[in-house]
Amino acid sequence: MLRVAPAKINLVLRVLRKRPDGYHDLASVMQQISICDELHFTLRPEGIVLQCPGTDLPTNEDNLIYRAARSIFNYAGYKAGVEINLNKKIPSAAGLGGGSSDAATTLMALNDLCSLNVSQTELMKIGAKLGADVPFFIFGKSAFAAGIGDRLQPLPDLPKLHLVLINPPFPLATKMVYENLNLTLTKKKNNYSIPRFYALGDVVRELYNDLEAVSLTMHPELSDFKQLLVKEGALGALMSGSGPTLFGVFADETSARQAKQAILKKVSGECLVFFAQSL
């Protein structure tokens, strides 16, 4: 069985407060996009075997895919095994949710392949124990996320997005970015209403990420990439998640594809540049 695991971008990411348990309450608009990892699942008599060719990713308990397979097998009491082959196309530690998407796809694929009959709600609960973004990839293609990212509401009216993404040649660890975020521990409640996106201009107007300033301080060159996206025609540009990937929103597919080619000529060969669309 072959399944694809899409990346995501955050169109809005507001960090509302730091909680007493150390986590952060967020308000985020998340959108799946057309850059995808590929996972191939083959049943075997016993054990979990994970292959990640062409990467330096772990193939044991340190990998979310492995832990996702073990989690759903344990939950459902499934006694056989599976071999999983990952064709990695989403950059790692890039703010695009690749690891979380792989885990979510593993849960859903094994639920189908092994006829485990686990409900979507139960899958999301299993996923939440693996990572804060995992439930989103089970939930749907676009969503408003609150809490630590675990309270999700659908956003069905988002317009089609045509995007160019620049992934710089260095990772940014989510934990490090949050540790450098200047938020004091507070019991104050913060409310943020769900934005409405009726047209592309609404999306561009709402683009916001509290983590961007932190990442730009750590890597000032990110500002140059953001400016380059706008110079090449993006209506708006933003860092996704904790970065370092930046994306630009373009008026249509043609202008986005043209911008991608122009940007490829201007950035270092170590940068990855993608055209993508919302799913």
Residues 46, 83, single domain; the answer is yes
Catalytic residue among 8, 141, 226, 260: 8
pLDDT beyond 70 at 258: yes
Catalytic residue among 25, 37, 102, 133: 133
pLDDT beyond 50 at 256: yes
Residue pair 18/183 in contact (Cβ under 8 Å)? The answer is: yes
Residues 69, 182, single domain; the answer is no
Residues 222, 244, single domain; the answer is yes
Confidence of residue 190 (pLDDT cuts 50, 70, 90): low
Residues 113, 10, single domain; the answer is yes
* CATH number of the domain enclosing 111: 3.30.230.10
Residues 56, 77, single domain; the answer is yes
Residues 129, 250, single domain; the answer is no
18 an active-site residue?
no
Q: According to the model, what pLDDT value does residue 186 have?
A: 40
* CATH number of the domain enclosing 258: 3.30.70.890
Q: Which of 113, 133, 154 is the last residue of a domain?
A: 154
Q: Supply the pTM of this predicted model.
A: 0.93
Q: Which of 137, 154, 171 is the last residue of a domain?
A: 154
Reported as half-sphere exposure (CB side, CA atoms, 13 A), residue 240 has a value of 28
Residues 6 or more apart whose Cβ sits within 8 Å of residue 171: 92, 93, 94, 244
pLDDT in tens, 161-186: 999 999 999 877 777 888 888 765 44
> Which domain, by its residues, includes 101?
2-154
Residues 176, 64, single domain; the answer is no
Residues 150, 24, single domain; the answer is yes
Residues 12, 44, single domain; the answer is yes
133 an active-site residue?
yes
pLDDT in tens, 85-126: 999 999 998 999 999 999 999 999 999 999 999 999 999 999
Residues 179, 78, single domain; the answer is no
pLDDT in tens, 210-243: 999 999 998 999 999 999 999 999 999 999 998 8
- Across the chain, where does the E strand assignment appear? 2-18, 24-44, 48-51, 81-87, 142-147, 151-154, 162-167, 208-209, 236-239, 246-250, 272-277
Residues 10, 144, single domain; the answer is yes
Number of domains in the chain: 2
Q: Which of 154, 174, 200 is the last residue of a domain?
A: 154
What is the DSSP secondary structure assignment for residue 209, as one 8-state letter? E
Q: According to the model, what pLDDT value does residue 193 have?
A: 76
Integer angstrom CA distances of residue 206 from 79, 95, 158: 48, 19, 12
Q: At what angle do helices 98-113 and 120-130 cross, to 10 degrees?
A: 140
